[in-house]
Structure 1
Amino acid sequence: MDVTRAQAIAFRIDAQGLHRRSIDGAAALLELGVQHHQSSVAVALAARLPDGPPDDGELAWSHRGAPHRHRRSDLAAWARRLRPLSEPDAMARLIWTAEQSDAFPALAAIDRTAEVLAAAVTSPMTKGEVSTAVSRELPRALQRDCPSCGVWHVFDQLLRLAALPAGVALDGGRTLRALPTPDGWSRPTGPGTVSDVAELVTAAVRIFGPATTADLAAWIGTSAGALASAVEATGLVAVRVEGRRAWVATDDVDRLVDPPSPPELRLLPPFDPMLSARDRALLVPDTERRRALWPALGHPGAVLAGTEVVGTWRPSASGKKLTLTVSGDVPRPLLDDEAERVAAARGLRLAAVTVS
């Protein structure tokens, strides 16, 4: 089945709850996880929820080792779903070279670091304290030389990917602490199962679909080849978007064919789920606009009007006041109301909105 770009993006907007009709869209996002960056989670949920965000949430290093807010009750399941399926899969997720894998296999490195982490984090600790404690117990093959500190540190991505299997979460994004693990939960070890990783793929497709295998692999942080067996096990339906073969859940096909009309305007924070999918050229066809939205450093937020990203926005806080600077061809009548939502989500009062 051929799907137009407009259909694909309108489906994604609806799947992510940006119509702001109920809590269902935000609940689906929290099931997959919303990336944390400063106030991004609060602003992302404010763009989708009629009222305030739900209280039930836990920050953890999960997808790609980045901090995400998840439902607390789901974390044990994510510890299983995020397991690499093989040594090449683990190498891709760790950005591990063949030489490193020969010295210490990537999958075994994650398991060994998780074992040390679980023993070390018995009370809230800063990341630096955790790194120091863990590095003392790990072999040199799992550490890097840090000239600025004059010591050897555990590889940062290794620490991040080992934290959730160790039952360690982030407290406010700066402190690490042990999770109260549910009865019967034990630290996962060894390669993941195809069925568990297929659950990850299906959850991602429901939020980002229609999505190609390559885009899903890039979002997960692995290779398309390593993910292929899990994609095949999902029972997803293949469609074609802009000439590319992509996947969608079977029960989402009807909504993809005839998605609801998108809302007129939404302000999305940096790292919002709408901006996190790897098919950036589909969401923003214009090259210059893509560069403005995804620079190397200092990502702005996006102004979404219908199915199009029509501009960017940046916040500036002074005391308890917030000013938004908006760039692009933005429909002003709706902008102030959305800006008020951004300010409220950040616990601030809107002072001004400047449009250039």
Structure 2
Amino acid sequence: MDVTREQAIAFRVAAQGLARRSALDAAVLLDLGVQHRESSVAVALAARLPDDPPPDGLLAWTHRAAPHRHHPADLARWARALRPLSDADAASRLIWTAEQNAAFGALAAIDRVAEVLAATVDGPMTKGELSTVVSRELPRALQRDCPSCGVWHVYDQLLRLGALPAGLTLDGGRVLRALPPDGGWRRPVGPGDPADVAGLVTAAVHVFGPVTTADLAAWIGTSAGALRPAVDVADLAAVRVEGRRAWVVRHRLEVLADPPSPPGLRLLPAFDPLLSARDRALLVPDPQRRRALWPALGQPGAVLVGTEVLGTWRPRASGGALTLEVTAFEELPPGPLDDEAQRVAAARGLRLRAVTVA
């Protein structure tokens, strides 16, 4: 199937629940996980939920070792699905050099940290406390000299990737606590099973498809070659988008052939799932607009109208009130913009003071 850019984006927008039909549409995001950064999860769900309360979620370091909110019952499955398939896969996820991987195998390093974490954490600890305790038990090859701290401590990415296999979650984004024992938690060791990792691939393709193997691997934090064994066993179908071979979940091919009409204006927070896909040129073809939406520092939110990003926005909170500063690429409809700004303010627990458009 040949798919146009507009068709692909409309399909993705619908898959992510932005039509705001029911809470079930938004729940698909928690099936994969929504990245947590300040109020990003609440605002992302407000863009998708009609009036229903957001689903319950639990924070953990999962995709790319960043904090994501998940269904609590799914964490054991994610601990298996996020297992690297090889040492090369683990080294990519750790952002390790070949020399680091040779000094201490990347997959063995994750398992060693998970082992120490499982034996160490018996109650809430801050991340700093956890790093100090864990570092005492690790060889120097798994630590770095930190001039600002004046000590050697475990690599941050390694600590994060070892946390979920050890059964650790986040509380308030900073304090770790162990998952309650329920008889079903087993610390995974060794290489991942392609069938388990295919569950990650399928969930990600459902949210981000149509997506190429390379862009999918970049979102996961690994290489296309390392991920290919899981892609090969996932139930996917190939299509072509703008001349590139991409994947969709097989049972959704009919929806892709005739995707629902996209909704009107939506305000998406920075790190929203729609903005997290790595094929940024597909979502925002204009290079100047891409630079505005994804600067090196301080990513803004996006103003989505139909299938097009037509502006950016930044929140300014003061005294319990919120001002939204919007930079428009094109003229925006004022009524829907004000309505969506009210939803953003409510999601953040604030009252809306003003919306400014430049």
Match of 2:345 in 1: 343
Match of 1:51 in 2: 51
Shift, 1:241, TM fit: 0.2
Secondary structure of 2:54's counterpart equals coil
Shift, 1:52, TM fit: 4.5
Distance 1:251 1:174, change over 3 A: same
Match of 2:224 in 1: 224
Kept in 2, the 8 Å contact 1:32–1:204? The answer is yes
Match of 2:278 in 1: 278
Secondary structure of 1:291's counterpart equals helix
Equivalents in 2 of 1:85, 1:68: separation in Å? Answer: 21
Kept in 1, the 8 Å contact 2:23–2:52? The answer is no
Code of the aligned partner of 2:355: V
Equivalents in 2 of 1:235, 1:185: separation in Å? Answer: 27
Secondary structure of 2:113's counterpart equals helix
What 5-or-longer segments of structure 2 have no aligned partner?
none
Secondary structure of 2:136's counterpart equals helix
- Correspondent of 2:333 among 327, 331, 334: 331
Q: How does 1:1-356 map to 2 (within 5 A)?
A: 1-328=1-328, 329=330, 330-356=332-358
Equivalents in 2 of 1:289, 1:276: separation in Å? Answer: 16
Code of the aligned partner of 1:278: R
Code of the aligned partner of 2:158: L
Code of the aligned partner of 1:26: A
Equivalents in 2 of 1:348, 1:130: separation in Å? Answer: 34
Equivalents in 2 of 1:259, 1:181: separation in Å? Answer: 43
Kept in 2, the 8 Å contact 1:45–1:53? The answer is no
TM-score, normalised to structure 2, is 0.98
Shift, 1:25, TM fit: 1.9
Secondary structure of 1:137's counterpart equals coil
Equivalents in 2 of 1:171, 1:181: separation in Å? Answer: 17
Kept in 2, the 8 Å contact 1:86–1:226? The answer is yes
Q: C-alpha deviations, 1:208-246, integer Å up to 9, x for none?
A: 000000001000000000011111111311000011000
Code of the aligned partner of 2:145: D
Kept in 2, the 8 Å contact 1:314–1:326? The answer is yes
Secondary structure of 1:295's counterpart equals coil
Equivalents in 1 of 2:355, 2:120: separation in Å? Answer: 47
Equivalents in 1 of 2:313, 2:73: separation in Å? Answer: 34
Code of the aligned partner of 1:314: R
Kept in 1, the 8 Å contact 2:94–2:157? The answer is yes
Shift, 1:333, TM fit: 1.8
Code of the aligned partner of 1:289: R
Code of the aligned partner of 1:307: T
Equivalents in 2 of 1:184, 1:69: separation in Å? Answer: 20
Secondary structure of 1:245's counterpart equals strand
Secondary structure of 1:158's counterpart equals helix
Shift, 1:54, TM fit: 2.9
Shift, 1:183, TM fit: 1.8
Code of the aligned partner of 1:67: P
Shift, 1:53, TM fit: 3.8
Code of the aligned partner of 1:75: L
Percent of pairs with identical residues: 75
Equivalents in 2 of 1:122, 1:46: separation in Å? Answer: 35
Q: C-alpha deviations, 1:73-94, integer Å up to 9, x for none?
A: 0000000000000011001111
Equivalents in 2 of 1:112, 1:205: separation in Å? Answer: 31
Kept in 1, the 8 Å contact 2:167–2:185? The answer is no
C-alpha RMSD of matched pairs (Å)? 0.8
Kept in 2, the 8 Å contact 1:46–1:53? The answer is no
Equivalents in 2 of 1:73, 1:58: separation in Å? Answer: 9
Distance 1:295 1:181, change over 3 A: farther
Q: C-alpha deviations, 1:66-111, integer Å up to 9, x for none?
A: 0000000000000000000001100111111121112110000000
Equivalents in 2 of 1:22, 1:318: separation in Å? Answer: 32
What 5-or-longer segments of structure 1 have no aligned partner?
none
Kept in 2, the 8 Å contact 1:46–1:52? The answer is no
